[in-house]
Amino acid sequence: VNSYLDSIKTTIFSVMSALAVEHSAVNLGQGFPDDEGPDAMKEKAAAALYDHNNQYPPYAGVAELKQAVARHSERYSGIPVDAATETLVTVGASEALTCAFLGLVNRGDEVILFDPQYDLYAPAATFAGAVIRTVQLDPNDWSVPHAAMEAAFSERTKLVLINSPHNPTGKVFSDEDLAFIAGLCVKHNTYAVCDEVYEHLVFEGSHHRSLRTFPGMADRAVRVGSAGKTFSFTAWKIGWVTGPARLVTAVAKAHQFVTFTVASSLQRAVAYGLDHEVAFYTGLGKMLEGKRAYLERRLKEIGFQVLPAQGTYFLIADFSTETDTDFSIRLTKEAGVTTIPVSAFYISADPPRTLVRFCFCKTDDKLRQACDALESFFGKRR
């Protein structure tokens, strides 16, 4: 078998979800919401199976979804895109990201990834033959260390991957950091792949701005979105890419030979949702902020240190001395609550070792149950 893949373990999300099931633990590990998206979208998807044929849709996406993605881009990011040439529909953001590496990188090109990082990036970059350079975000506030970032660029750098709002930290990159990154991309003539799947999951007082809106970035950045995150339908696996036609075309060429196309009934339902279920996705940030506040208060009472965040449905907490992997396993088995060890999001050799990620897009009952279980396990220190 492929010796690179032979060295890779099963993804931490699957491992921890299986462990949660085995021990009947409350699963605050893998990121998926309890409250699903609008029923009207499920009805549209079901109706589409009967109202349209069920044969290969166009490889780049059905026209109505491409148009809805273009409208959504202009409305929420202020970036107009041409639906026909500057949008692409993919099997989730996952395929979009994989095809972005395959479509934009030549073997041996360097790509810059931040640590911590979503676990798909490094394998996908490696499939494309890229050489990975990593920059560790500052664990104090997850800001971009400017000197290290500058040092990561070389004449071989082909692209930088920016994920904001960020998984697993919940960090929304500051305009200052984004401007700095944009300046480096322009200076070194690189592309940027912007993983913006959590674009609507931002708390009050913060705002998400796409790197593509910064000077010089419109022609070199592609943005990736996900219906899984925007509509809390993670099973649907509908994603999209927007960007300059030349780059979207390259990503689409890879997509032709990875999956070719995407279930059309779900595409039509997502098109409907982007245009008509605006209240759902624009309300996500506020809804999640309340859940985060609850979890944060309870965890602090138990004695965890909770790291600040501006968005997403993830919260990182610092505990004491045990390594994070042992701690996550023990919490599942003994306290009945599943988390994700944050070191799993690092590819560099020296990750922080006492951080765990909680996913809080869960029912209030489930969050209470998890907090009660942790409190009876650890006691209340404050």
Q: Measured between alpha carbons, how far is 102 from 255 in angstroms, rounded to an integer? A: 9
Among ligand PMP, ligand GLN, none, residue 93 binds (CB under 5-8 Å by kind): ligand PMP
> Residue 131 phi/psi, 5° resolution?
-100, 125
Site membership for ligand PMP, residue 226 (CB under 6 A): yes
> Residue length, the chain?
382
SS3 (DSSP) at 376: helix
Q: Which of residues 96-135 bind ligand PMP (CB under 6 A)?
A: 118
Our CB check for ligand GLN shows the closer of 30 and 242 to be 30
Looking at the Cβ atoms of 167 and 338, the one nearer to ligand GLN is 167
- By CB under 6 A, is residue 239 in contact with ligand PMP? yes
Report the distance separating Cα 198 and Cα 184, nearest Å: 24
The amino acid present at 130, given as its one-letter code, is: A
CB 79 within 8 A of CB 300: no
Q: What is the CA radius of gyration of the chain?
A: 20
Number of residues this chain uses to bind ligand GLN (CB under 6 A): 5
User: Contact between 170 and ligand PMP (CB under 6 A)?
Assistant: no
**Segments in the chain forming alpha helices (H):** 3-6, 12-22, 39-51, 63-77, 92-104, 121-127, 146-152, 175-187, 227-230, 245-258, 264-276, 278-282, 284-302, 324-330, 364-378
Q: What is the DSSP letter of 322?
A: S
Choose, by CB under 6 A, the member of 109, 177, 195, 289 that binds ligand PMP: 195
Chain centroid offset of residue 59 CA = 24
**Taking CB under 6 A as the rule, does residue 228 contact ligand PMP?**
yes
Q: Taking CB under 6 A as the rule, does residue 197 contact ligand PMP?
A: yes
Helix (H, G, I), strand (E, B) or coil at 172: coil
- Which residue from 27, 98, 157, 163 is in contact with ligand PMP, where contact means CB under 6 A? 163
Q: Examine residue 242 and tell whether it contacts ligand PMP (CB under 6 A).
A: no
Query: Which residues fall within 8 angstroms of residue 316, CB to CB, at 6 or more apart?
Result: 168, 169, 170, 306, 307, 309, 342, 355, 356, 357, 358
Map tokens 């899984």 to a residue: 228
Q: What, of ligand PMP, ligand GLN, none, does residue 226 touch, CB below 5 to 8 Å by kind?
A: ligand PMP
Q: For residue 168, is the peptide bond before it cis, meaning its omega torsion is within 30 degrees of 0?
A: yes
Give the range of 89-97, 151-159, 265-273, 359-367 binding ligand PMP by CB under 6 A.
Answer: 89-97
Decide which of ligand PMP, ligand GLN, none touches 351; Cβ closer than 5 to 8 Å per partner kind: none
**Least spacing, CB of residue 240 vs ligand PMP, in Å:** 9
Binding of ligand PMP at residue 164 (CB under 6 A)?
A: no
Using DSSP bridges, classify how beta strands 87-91 and 238-242 pair: parallel, antiparallel or unpaired.
antiparallel
C-alpha–C-alpha distance, residues 70 and 88, integer Å: 10
Instruction: Provide the β-strand partners of residue 356.
Output: 317, 341
Structure tokens belonging to residue 145: 């260390």
270 binds ligand PMP (CB under 6 A): no
Cβ at position 353, least distance to ligand PMP in Å: 22
Closer of 238 and 271 to ligand GLN (Cβ) = 238
- Site track for ligand GLN across 336-365, x = CB under 6 A: ------------------------------
Orientation of helix 245-258 relative to helix 92-104, angle to 10°? 110
Question: Which of residues 13 and 378 has its CB atom nearest to ligand GLN in the complex?
Answer: 13
CB of 110 to ligand GLN, least distance (A): 25
Q: Which stretch binds ligand PMP (CB under 6 A): 69-77, 92-100, 106-114, 185-193?
A: 92-100
Q: Which of residues 336 and 360 has its CB atom nearest to ligand PMP in the complex?
A: 360
Out of 20, 28, 31, 212, the only residue in the binding site for ligand GLN (CB under 6 A) is: 31
19 in contact with ligand GLN (CB under 6 A)? no
Closest CB to ligand PMP among 237 and 268? 237
**Residues of this chain that bind ligand PMP (CB under 6 A):** 31, 92-94, 118, 163, 167, 195, 197, 226, 228, 234, 237, 239
**Residues of this chain that bind ligand GLN (CB under 6 A):** 11, 13, 30-31, 167
